[in-house]
Amino acid sequence: MNTQVAIIGAGPAGLLLSHLLHLKGIASVVLESRTRADIESTIRAGVLEQGTMDVLNEAGVGARMRSEGALHHGIELAFGGQRHRIDLSDLTGRAITVYAQHEVIKDLVAARFAADGQILFEVNDVSVHDVDSESPSVRFTHGGEPQQLNADFVIGCDGFHGISRPSIPDQLRRDYQRIYPFGWFGILVESDPSSEELIYAQHARGFALVSTRSPKVQRLYFQCDPKDDVNNWSDDRIWSELHARLENSDGWKLKEGRIFQKNIIGMRSFVSTPMQHGRLFLAGDAAHIVPPTGAKGMNLAVADVRLLSMALEEFYKKGRPDSLAAYTETALKRVWRAEHFSWWMTSMFHKFDDASPFQQELQRAELEYVVSSRAAATALAENYVGLPFA
Ligand SMILES: Cc1cc2nc3c(=O)[nH]c(=O)nc-3n(C[C@H](O)[C@H](O)[C@H](O)COP(=O)(O)OP(=O)(O)OC[C@H]3O[C@@H](n4cnc5c(N)ncnc54)[C@H](O)[C@@H]3O)c2cc1C
């Protein structure tokens, strides 16, 4: 099998890249280890930056996002029993849209198939070969048969646990990592939204986040021990923990509902560089991870593939490899800014068991500064809605 660009992974990065390339007349094949039903139903991210919305709209896959997604003009920060609104639109002229990642995936899969795009689901034993030549290939099994996909380029969009990043020799790679001593306990709840906007809460018992995925499905999180077990948490215990962390003096109340999913996610910051080795390029979670506090993961994946699609267009249409060669440097500028913002949000809202009383007072002083200074609130807001693309 031959194509121009072989893409490993049908997450937001791989599917969007395939579609952007198609719009530029460049052929690709996407290889995905899971089933279509699986990728279309895994609930993960939900906050789309303005720039992400623009890319999806320009790619012609934004219709459902525009009609079913919820435009949010602000977020709330809760601490000391009070809520404070950060008016994103007033401070930056931009906004975010809450539209679940699996809905973005459904829109992209539909768009790829409507354009006769090739996505092979349930592939196994994927490996990349000859990426330091001009004829790289990907080997895999599909339907029990060994296959080889020959391409000009291989793009690893296979997430943090994929095979692409480890295909770059260890001695050529530098990984930066921070693992946080806490995780997030996430629940999905059948109920109306408790709040029109997301609430980020700092509390002596730990962080909590009130978020939403649709008018009838709410996504709530609270900081937990990453080694905890969801079976230790009855529904009653979860609600009582969330009520304790979200207590406030203005009468606002969290709405309860049927909990239909519980999970615990670890928190890490991670960057691997370079994001290119020969004709193998990495995009999205394959190259970097942020703790979800800044809502940046999916947005960074979109930013990476936007860059790659433009660089590949320049290569194919003008014969110029310069932008491809500059990919790591260009992409990492945005990545490190998002890494810093995500680390900062995480540090400001979470309980650190080893924090001294001095550090706790610094944390409180920082939160008070963010909600009382327009300059500080603007710094948070412009990072949250996403910096403009360079
Ligand atoms: C609980 C949670 C909440 C989050 N909240 C937010 C948020 O609010 N906002 C935000 O922007 N981000 C958020 N994120 C992060 C976001 O979900 C990820 O950053 C995003 O999915 C990255 O997209 P990706 O395409 O790079 O990787 P992935 O979505 O991980 O896609 C990789 C794909 O590759 C496939 N694959 C893996 N290995 C192979 C292989 N060997 N061969 C073939 N296929 C393979 C996988 O099955 C998968 O489909 C959250 C993440 C989690 C876990």
For range 95-104, the mean pLDDT: 96
Residues 314 and 365 placed together within one structural domain of the fold? no
Domain span at 164 = 5-72+96-176+268-348
Residues 203 and 276 placed together within one structural domain of the fold? no
Indicate whether 190 belongs to any domain. yes
Residue 390 above 90 pLDDT?
no
Residues 215 and 260 placed together within one structural domain of the fold? yes
How close is the Cα of 39 to the center of ligand 1, in Å? 10
Determine if ligand 1 sits within 6 Å of the CB of residue 156.
no
Q: For 246-280, write each residue's pLDDT tens digit.
A: 998 888 999 999 999 999 999 999 999 999 999 99
Global confidence as pTM:
0.96
Residues 228 and 118 placed together within one structural domain of the fold? no
Indicate whether 106 belongs to any domain. yes
Indicate whether 158 belongs to any domain. yes
Q: For 349-368, write each residue's pLDDT tens digit.
A: 999 999 999 999 999 999 99
Residue 108 above 90 pLDDT?
yes
Residues 256 and 128 placed together within one structural domain of the fold? no
Residues 21 and 114 placed together within one structural domain of the fold? yes
Angle at 281 between CA 280 and CA 283, to 5 degrees: 145
Amino acid 157: pLDDT: 98
From the CA of 12, give the closest atom in ligand 1: 25
Which residue shows structure tokens 């089933």? 35
Residue 30 above 90 pLDDT?
yes
Choosing from 44, 165, 182, 296 the residue with most ligand 1 atoms within 8 A of its CB, the one to mutate for a pocket test is 44
Residues 65 and 155 placed together within one structural domain of the fold? yes
Residue 6: φ, ψ to 5°: -90, 130
Determine if ligand 1 sits within 6 Å of the CB of residue 284.
yes
Residues 168 and 295 placed together within one structural domain of the fold? yes
Answer yes or no: 180 catalytic: no
Indicate whether 90 belongs to any domain. no
Residues 218 and 247 placed together within one structural domain of the fold? yes
From the CA of 297, give the closest atom in ligand 1: 19
Q: Which of 103, 134, 128 is nearest to 31 (CA)?
A: 128
What percentage of the chain's residues is helix, strand, coil (to nearest 5)? 40, 30, 30
The set of residues, in sequence order, having a beta carbon less than 8 Å from that of 102 and lying 6+ positions away, is 39, 40, 41, 42, 43, 44
Torsion on CA atoms 127, 131, 137, 140, rounded to nearest 10: 0
Residues 263 and 370 placed together within one structural domain of the fold? yes
How close is the Cα of 161 to the center of ligand 1, in Å? 10
Answer yes or no: 369 catalytic: no
How close is the Cα of 331 to the center of ligand 1, in Å? 18
Q: For 127-168, write each residue's pLDDT tens digit.
A: 999 999 999 999 999 999 999 999 999 999 999 999 999 999
DSSP state of 293: G
Indicate whether 88 belongs to any domain. no
Answer yes or no: 296 catalytic: yes
For range 86-94, the mean pLDDT: 98
Amino acid 44: pLDDT: 87
Amino acid 280: pLDDT: 98
Amino acid 379: pLDDT: 98
Catalytic, out of 12, 193, 291, 292: 292
Three-class SS state of 17: helix
Residue 40 in contact with residue 119, Cβ under 8 Å? no
Amino acid 316: pLDDT: 98
Amino acid 43: pLDDT: 86
Indicate whether 127 belongs to any domain. yes
Determine if ligand 1 sits within 6 Å of the CB of residue 9.
yes
How close is the Cα of 101 to the center of ligand 1, in Å? 9
Determine if ligand 1 sits within 6 Å of the CB of residue 162.
yes
Answer yes or no: 292 catalytic: yes
Amino acid sitting at position 369: Y
Mean pLDDT estimate for the chain: 97
Compute the distance between CA of residue 348 and CA of residue 367 in angstroms, rounded to an integer.
Answer: 7
Residue 222 above 90 pLDDT?
yes
How close is the Cα of 300 to the center of ligand 1, in Å? 11
From the CA of 160, give the closest atom in ligand 1: 30
Determine if ligand 1 sits within 6 Å of the CB of residue 51.
no
Amino acid 251: pLDDT: 86
Residues 258 and 274 placed together within one structural domain of the fold? no
Residues 226 and 340 placed together within one structural domain of the fold? no
Answer yes or no: 84 catalytic: no
Sort 31 into a burial class: Cβ within 10 Å, 0-12 / 13-18 / 19+.
buried
From the CA of 39, give the closest atom in ligand 1: 49
DSSP state of 34: S
Indicate whether 87 belongs to any domain. no
Q: Which of 174, 179, 229 is nearest to 346 (CA)?
A: 179
Indicate whether 215 belongs to any domain. yes
Give the total number of structural domains in the chain.
2
Determine if ligand 1 sits within 6 Å of the CB of residue 52.
no
% residues pLDDT > 70 (the chain): 100
Q: For 323-353, write each residue's pLDDT tens digit.
A: 999 999 999 999 999 999 999 999 999 999 9
Amino acid sitting at position 138: V
Catalytic, out of 19, 22, 72, 350: 72
From the CA of 9, give the closest atom in ligand 1: 34
Residue 299 above 90 pLDDT?
yes
| CATH number of the domain where residue 357 is located | 3.30.9.10
Amino acid 269: pLDDT: 98
Amino acid 148: pLDDT: 98
| CATH number of the domain where residue 127 is located | 3.50.50.60
Q: In what order do the strands lie in the sheet with 288-289?
A: 82-87, 74-79, 199-201, 208-214, 217-224, 174-190, 258-273, 288-289
